[in-house]
C-alpha cells in the first residue's frame, strides 16, 4: 500500500488536556444540580454519604487503592524500558510477557478463591510484599532474574484485579452502609486509578532520567518506598474479616454457585471479553498509531488516554441519577456496542493520526464508564463471599486469549494487528450479547446478603 510518510512529528494539542480536566470537574460538580432522583432516595443517600464514618471509610480505602495503583503502574510504564536496558530482543520480550500471562492464567485464576476463603486483607498485604521483594532484589542484584520478577509482578497484578475491590465491598457490608453508597466508591476507584497511573508515568520518567543504577531515585528505590508505605497503611487499616471456614468447603460452595447460575456465567463472560479487549488495546495502541511511518510523541498520548478514562468514569453517576432511566444491563449493552464499533473502525479503516487519537480517547472514555458499571452489576448478582473468586475465574479465558495473541501475533507473526483488533471488537459485541441475555433472564433470586 502506497502511503506518503510525513516528515514532521504529529503533536497533541495541549488544550486537549485542559478540555478533559474541565469537563471531568464539570461532570462531577454539576451532577447534584441535574439529578432526578426521588426525594426520599436522595435524602437517604445524602445521609449515608455525609456521615463521618462512611466518609472516613471511603477516603481511607481510596487512599490505599490510589497508592496501590501507583505501585502497580510503575511496572506497566517502566517494564519495557527495563527490558530494553537488560538487552532483551523483541522476541525475548514477547516470551517474557507470555510467561507472566501464563503465570496469571495458571496461578492467578485460583487466587481469588483463596482470597475469599482466608481474607482479602492478607492478599492485599501479599500484593505489597511481592513488590517490596522485587524492589529490594533489583536494588541488591546488578542483573536480577527478570523472568522471576515478571512472574511475581504478574501475580501481583492478578491480586490487584480482585482483592482491593472485594475487600472494600465486604467491609462496606460489614459496617452496615447502604449498597447505594458503593456506587460512588466504584467510579471513584476508576477515576483515582487513572490518576495514579499518570503519577506512575511521572515517577518512572523522572527515575529513568538518572543513569546510575544505584541512584537514590531509581525506580527500584521508588518501588521499595511505595511498597513499604502501602504495606504499613494496609496493616494499620480496618481489621480483617473472619475466615469463611475451611478452604475445601468454601471451594465446594463456590463451584456449586458458579456452575448453578447462568447469570453468573454471562456476567463472567462479559468481564472476560472486556479484560481481553482492554489488554489488546494497551498492547496495540502505539503500533496502530505509528503504523505506515506516522510519528508522534507517545509519552504525551498515554496521559491523554488515561484522562479520557477519568472523564468516562465521571459519567457513571449520571447513568444512575434518573436522567437516562435505564437498567444497568441496558447501559452496559449500549456501552459494549459503542466500544466494539470504535475498535472495528480502528481495525478495518485507515485513518489520519488525529482521527486515531480521537477514537482511542473515546474508547478509553467508554471503558472508564463500563468498569464501575460492571462492578455495580457484580454487587447485584454475586454474593460477597464469592466476589474475588468470580472475578479471578472470569479472567482465565481472557488471559488465555491474551497468551494466544502474544504467541501467534507477536512471536510467530501469524496474525496481523488488524485481525487482533477485530477479535477484540468481536469480544465486546459478545459482551453486549451477554448483557442482552442477562437482562431477559431477570434478577438474581438470592439477594439476602444485600442491605435493603
- Whether 267 shows a pLDDT value over 50: the answer reads yes
The pLDDT value recorded for residue 207 is 81
CA R_g for the chain: 22
Lowest mean pLDDT among 180-189, 238-247, 413-422: 238-247
At 364, give phi and psi (nearest 5°). -65, -35
Q: Which comes out higher in pLDDT, residue 258 or 140?
A: 258
Predicted confidence (pLDDT) per residue in 110-129, tens digit: 999 999 999 899 999 999 99
- Average pLDDT along the chain: 86
**Residue 167 binned pLDDT confidence (cut-offs 50, 70, 90):** very high
The pLDDT value recorded for residue 48 is 44
Q: What proportion of the chain, given as a percentage, has pLDDT over 70?
A: 87
The pLDDT value recorded for residue 86 is 74
**Residue 409 binned pLDDT confidence (cut-offs 50, 70, 90):** very high
Lowest mean pLDDT among 19-33, 284-298, 402-416: 284-298
Lowest mean pLDDT among 6-15, 109-118, 170-179, 411-420: 6-15
Q: What proportion of the chain, given as a percentage, has pLDDT over 90?
A: 57
The pLDDT value recorded for residue 441 is 85
The pLDDT value recorded for residue 443 is 59
Predicted confidence (pLDDT) per residue in 414-441, tens digit: 999 999 999 999 999 999 999 999 998 8
Calpha distance 285→74 (Å, rounded):
19
Predicted confidence (pLDDT) per residue in 324-343, tens digit: 667 899 999 999 999 999 99
Q: Which comes out higher in pLDDT, residue 292 or 315?
A: 315
The pLDDT value recorded for residue 242 is 63
**Residue 8 binned pLDDT confidence (cut-offs 50, 70, 90):** low
**Residue 3 binned pLDDT confidence (cut-offs 50, 70, 90):** very low
- Whether 36 shows a pLDDT value over 90: the answer reads no
The pLDDT value recorded for residue 175 is 87
Q: Which comes out higher in pLDDT, residue 368 or 218?
A: 368
The pLDDT value recorded for residue 433 is 97
**Residue 4 binned pLDDT confidence (cut-offs 50, 70, 90):** very low
Q: Residue 7 contacts by C-beta under 8 Å, 6 or more apart in sequence?
A: none
**Residue 450 binned pLDDT confidence (cut-offs 50, 70, 90):** very low
**Residue 375 binned pLDDT confidence (cut-offs 50, 70, 90):** very high
The pLDDT value recorded for residue 293 is 73
**Residue 210 binned pLDDT confidence (cut-offs 50, 70, 90):** low
- Whether 234 shows a pLDDT value over 70: the answer reads yes
Instruction: Sketch out the chain's domains with CATH numbers.
Output: 15-22+56-441 (1.20.1250.20)
The pLDDT value recorded for residue 125 is 94
Predicted confidence (pLDDT) per residue in 130-153, tens digit: 999 988 888 877 555 678 888 898
Amino acid at each position: 500500500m502506497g502511503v506518503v510518510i510525513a516528515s514532521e512529528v504529529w503533536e497533541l494539542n495541549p488544550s486537549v488536556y485542559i478540555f478533559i480536566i474541565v469537563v471531568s470537574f464539570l461532570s462531577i460538580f454539576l451532577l447534584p444540580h441535574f439529578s432526578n432522583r426521588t426525594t426520599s432516595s436522595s435524602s437517604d443517600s445524602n445521609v449515608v454519604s455525609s456521615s463521618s464514618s462512611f466518609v472516613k471509610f471511603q477516603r481511607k480505602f481510596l487512599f490505599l487503592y490510589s497508592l496501590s495503583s501507583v505501585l502497580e503502574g510503575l511496572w506497566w510504564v517502566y517494564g519495557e524500558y527495563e527490558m530494553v536496558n537488560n538487552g532483551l530482543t523483541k522476541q525475548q520480550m514477547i516470551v517474557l510477557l507470555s510467561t507472566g500471562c501464563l503465570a496469571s492464567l495458571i496461578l492467578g485464576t485460583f487466587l481469588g478463591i483463596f482470597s475469599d476463603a482466608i481474607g482479602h486483607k492478607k492478599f492485599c498485604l501479599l500484593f505489597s510484599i511481592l513488590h517490596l521483594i522485587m524492589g529490594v532484589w533489583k536494588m541488591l542484584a546488578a542483573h536480577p532474574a527478570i523472568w522471576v520478577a515478571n512472574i511475581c509482578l504478574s501475580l501481583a497484578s492478578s491480586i490487584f484485579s480482585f482483592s482491593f475491590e472485594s475487600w472494600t465491598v465486604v467491609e462496606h457490608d460489614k459496617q452496615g452502609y447502604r449498597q447505594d453508597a458503593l456506587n460512588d466508591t466504584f467510579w471513584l476507584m476508576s477515576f483515582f486509578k487513572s490518576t495514579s497511573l499518570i503519577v506512575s508515568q511521572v515517577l518512572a520518567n523522572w527515575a529513568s532520567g538518572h543513569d546510575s543504577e544505584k541512584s537514590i531515585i531509581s525506580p527500584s528505590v521508588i518501588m521499595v518506598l511505595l511498597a513499604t508505605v502501602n504495606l504499613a497503611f494496609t496493616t494499620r487499616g480496618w481489621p480483617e474479616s473472619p475466615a469463611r471456614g475451611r478452604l475445601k468447603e468454601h471451594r465446594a460452595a463456590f463451584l456449586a454457585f458458579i456452575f448453578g447460575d447462568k447469570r453468573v456465567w454471562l456476567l463472567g463472560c462479559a468481564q472476560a471479553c472486556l479484560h481481553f479487549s482492554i489488554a489488546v488495546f494497551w498492547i496495540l495502541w502505539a503500533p496502530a498509531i505509528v503504523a505506515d511511518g506516522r510519528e508522534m510523541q507517545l509519552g504525551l498520548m498515554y496521559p491523554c488516554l488515561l484522562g479520557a478514562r477519568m472523564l468516562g468514569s465521571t459519567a457513571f453517576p449520571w447513568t444512575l441519577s434518573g436522567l437516562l432511566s435505564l437498567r444497568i444491563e441496558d447501559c452496559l449493552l449500549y456501552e459494549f456496542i459503542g466500544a466494539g464499533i470504535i475498535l472495528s473502525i480502528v481495525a478495518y479503516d485507515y485513518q489520519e493520526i488525529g482521527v486515531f487519537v480521537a477514537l482511542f480517547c473515546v474508547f478509553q472514555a467508554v471503558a472508564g464508564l463500563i468498569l464501575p458499571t460492571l462492578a455495580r452489576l457484580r454487587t447485584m448478582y454475586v454474593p460477597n463471599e464469592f466476589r474475588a473468586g468470580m472475578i479471578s475465574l472470569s479472567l482465565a479465558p481472557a488471559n488465555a486469549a491474551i497468551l494466544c495473541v502474544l504467541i501467534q501475533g507477536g512471536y510467530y507473526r501469524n496474525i496481523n494487528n488488524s485481525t487482533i483488533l477485530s477479535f477484540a471488537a468481536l469480544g465486546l459485541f459478545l459482551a453486549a450479547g451477554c448483557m442482552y441475555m442477562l437482562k431477559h433472564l431477570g434478577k438474581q433470586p438470592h439477594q439476602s446478603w444485600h442491605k435493603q
